[in-house]
Amino acid sequence: MKNILEEIAARTRERIAKEKSQVSVYELENRIQEISKTESQKMTFLQALQKEGMSYICEVKKASPSKGLIAPDFPYLAIAKEYEQAGASAISCLTEPFYFQGADRYLREIAATVKIPVLRKDFTVDEYMIYQAKSLGASAVLLICAILDDGELRAYRQLAKELGLDALVEAHDEYEVDRALNLGAEIVGVNNRDLRTFQVDMNNSIRLRKMAPDNVVFVSESGIRTSEDIRLLYENKVDAVLIGETLMRSPDKKAALESLNGSPLR
């Protein structure tokens, strides 16, 4: 039986095959040229996560397979602006439509509005999606070791670089962190959520942090809820956290981030 990640990846392959037949890479390249004429100079995703102290990647997410509908009311642009005003280092925007109720237009509008970099949070399974990410105004893409072989990881990271995008390379265990590091990933994310059981274990990122050299930006993803979680991760040299549900469920994002951080973010 397929696990949820394989299921999402398969569905994404079908979705992208359809989108490819509607908009060619050539058209995406033209869009990229158009937006690059008007693009304001943003800090890169990597630079944004290299600042002193804990960096916060705040997620704009309507739903997820583990939690179902998280935000029935979903003013995505207002949420992104609130994150930026609260001192987020970057935004993660879900564009996957079937399991997360995301949309490309959320990313396009958010990236055009905020000055901080935006990660396209999707299940990259084709080079085409990297052209799409750039054409939508993203600063970074997600590359998940569990659904890509080494050749694909290398090729996608290279293409992302050529297009001026950073890559968050996501791993779940020792073997995948090793693969990410062999690839030369500058940003490695470890998911605390076991995608077979949906159980969250913060110790996963704490344990795997030790494998990566200090100059690799290390991101802890999923299930982060309290200032104690943040303190523990920071003490264990985690550079950044990716937080979705906790912030999406908070009516006051600024207060929620302040409370997680133990002080205002800046």
Ligand X SMILES: O=C(O)c1ccccc1NCC(=O)[C@H](O)[C@H](O)COP(=O)(O)O
Footprint of ligand X (CB under 6 A):
4-5, 59, 61, 64-66, 191, 193, 195, 221-224, 242-246
Instruction: State how far the Cα of 62 lies from the Cα of 59, in Å rounded to an integer.
Output: 10
Min CB(44)–ligand X separation in Å: 21
Tell me the closest approach of the beta carbon of residue 155 to ligand X, in angstroms.
22
Give min distance, CB of 89 to ligand X, in A: 15
State how far the alpha carbon of 247 is from the alpha carbons of 48, 132, 225, in Å: 19, 27, 9
User: Mapping DSSP to helix (H, G, I), strand (E, B) and coil, where does residue 171 land?
Assistant: strand
CB of 84 to ligand X, least distance (A): 18
Active site residues per annotation: 59, 61, 121, 170, 191, 221-222
Q: Which is nearer to ligand X, 130 or 142 (CB)?
A: 142
Give the residue nearest to ligand X (CB). 244
Residue 190: which H helix or E strand, with range? strand 187-191
Q: For residues 135 and 191, which CB has a smaller minimum distance to ligand X in the complex?
A: 191
Question: Which residue number, 31 or 198, has a Cβ lying nearer to ligand X?
Answer: 198
As a whole number of angstroms, the distance between CA 32 and CA 160 comes to: 13
Structure tokens at 218: 């290390």
Phi-psi region at 21: left, alpha or beta (left = phi > 0; alpha = psi -120 to 50): alpha
Q: Which is nearer to ligand X, 60 or 114 (CB)?
A: 60
